[in-house]
Copies of this chain bind each other. A is one copy, B any other.
Amino acid sequence: MTIEADFGLILKKYRNKVELSQEALALKCGLDRTYISLLERGKRKPTINSLFTLAKALDVKPSTLIEEIEVKYL
């Protein structure tokens, strides 16, 4: 699996945890809903800036999202 695919699964997990739709998360982040969908399907590689924006909206630390990915690679 790719890093962006892992990120997508984690993004969806945290989005569901805070009970936000893709639309609501996109609105909260000032991002486009289709971008959220593409990220969740691992079709886009987020920048660390998007990582910080999304983490803030999901009320989780950016490093926590990265830790969940890196356990698979380290």
The reply to whether A66 and B49 form a contact with Cβ atoms under 8 Å apart is no
Number of copies of this chain that the complex holds: 2
- Is A19 interfacial (CB 8 A cutoff)? no
**Interface size of A by Cβ–Cβ distance < 8 Å?**
21
Chain B residue numbers with a CB within 8 Å of A69 are: 48, 52, 62
Chain B residue numbers with a CB within 8 Å of A46 are: 47-48
CA distance A67 to B6 in the complex (A): 19
The reply to whether A4 and B48 form a contact with Cβ atoms under 8 Å apart is yes
- The residue that A49 contacts in the complex, of B4, B49, B52, B67, with Cβ under 8 A, is B4
CA distance A63 to B61 in the complex (A): 10
- The residue that A63 contacts in the complex, of B7, B45, B63, with Cβ under 8 A, is B63
